[in-house]
Amino acid sequence: MRPSCIEVDLSILAHNLNLIREHTDNRPVMAVVKSNAYGHGLIKVAQLYEKLGVNSLGVALLEEGILLRESGISLPIIVFGGVLTKQILEYLEWNLEFFVSSPEVLCETEKLCKSLGQLATVHLKIDSGMGRIGTSLENSESFITEALDAEHINVKGICSHFACADDPEDPMTQEQIDRFFQAVSVFDRLGASTPMRHIANSGGVLYFPQSHLDIIRPGIILYGVYPDSSCPRVIDVKPALRLKSQVSFHKSVPPGFSISYGATWTSESSAEISTIPLGYGDGYSRHLSNRGEVLINGKRRPIVGRVCMDQFMVNCETETQKAGNEVILVGEQQGQSITVEEISKWADTIPYEILTNLNERIPRIYIN
Q: Do 213 and 118 sit in the same domain of this protein?
A: yes
What DSSP designation does 79 have? Answer: E
Residue 218 lies in a domain: yes
Residue 116, pLDDT above cutoff 90: yes
Average pLDDT (186-203) is 96
Look at the alpha carbons of 269, 307, 2, 353 in this order and tell me if their dihedral is positive or negative.
Answer: positive
Q: What is the pLDDT of residues 245-287, one digit of tens each?
A: 999 999 999 999 999 999 999 999 999 999 999 999 999 999 9
Provide the percentage of residues in the chain whose pLDDT is more than 70: 100
What confidence tier does 144 reach under pLDDT thresholds 50, 70, 90?
A: very high
- Residue 348: give its domain's CATH number: 2.40.37.10
3-state secondary structure of 154: strand
Query: 259 φ, ψ to 5°?
Result: -125, 130
Average pLDDT (108-127) is 96
Q: Do 81 and 53 sit in the same domain of this protein?
A: yes
Rounded to the nearest angstrom, the gap between the alpha carbon of residue 13 and the centroid of all alpha carbons in its chain is 13
Average pLDDT (345-359) is 97
Catalytic residues: 34, 261
Residue 233 lies in a domain: no
Average pLDDT (75-79) is 98
Rounded to the nearest angstrom, the gap between the alpha carbon of residue 349 and the centroid of all alpha carbons in its chain is 14
Q: Are 160 and 173 in contact (CB under 8 A)?
A: no
Residue 106, pLDDT above cutoff 90: yes
- Which residues span the domain enclosing 147? 10-223
What confidence tier does 229 reach under pLDDT thresholds 50, 70, 90?
A: confident
Torsion of CA 231, 232, 236, 238, to 10 degrees: 20
Q: Do 203 and 254 sit in the same domain of this protein?
A: no
CA 94/CA 48 separation, integer angstroms: 21
Average pLDDT (131-139) is 95
Residue 186 lies in a domain: yes
Q: Do 171 and 35 sit in the same domain of this protein?
A: yes
Residue 215 lies in a domain: yes
Instruction: Choose the final residue of a domain: 190, 223, 256.
Output: 223
Residue 232 lies in a domain: no
Count of the separate structural domains present in the chain: 2
Q: Do 185 and 45 sit in the same domain of this protein?
A: yes
Q: Do 215 and 339 sit in the same domain of this protein?
A: no
Q: Do 214 and 248 sit in the same domain of this protein?
A: no
Residue 231 lies in a domain: no
Q: What is the pLDDT of residues 308-327, one digit of tens each?
A: 999 999 999 999 999 999 99
Instruction: Choose the final residue of a domain: 189, 223, 257.
Output: 223
CA 307/CA 350 separation, integer angstroms: 19
The DSSP element (H or E) to which 51 belongs, if any, is helix 42-51
CA 333/CA 39 separation, integer angstroms: 21
Residue 177, pLDDT above cutoff 90: yes
pTM: 0.94
**Single-letter amino acid, residue 207:** Y
Residue 48 lies in a domain: yes
Q: Do 306 and 332 sit in the same domain of this protein?
A: yes
Q: What is the mean pLDDT of the chain?
A: 97
pLDDT of the residue at 1: 81
- Residue 134: give its domain's CATH number: 3.20.20.10
Residue 52, pLDDT above cutoff 90: yes
Q: Do 172 and 260 sit in the same domain of this protein?
A: no
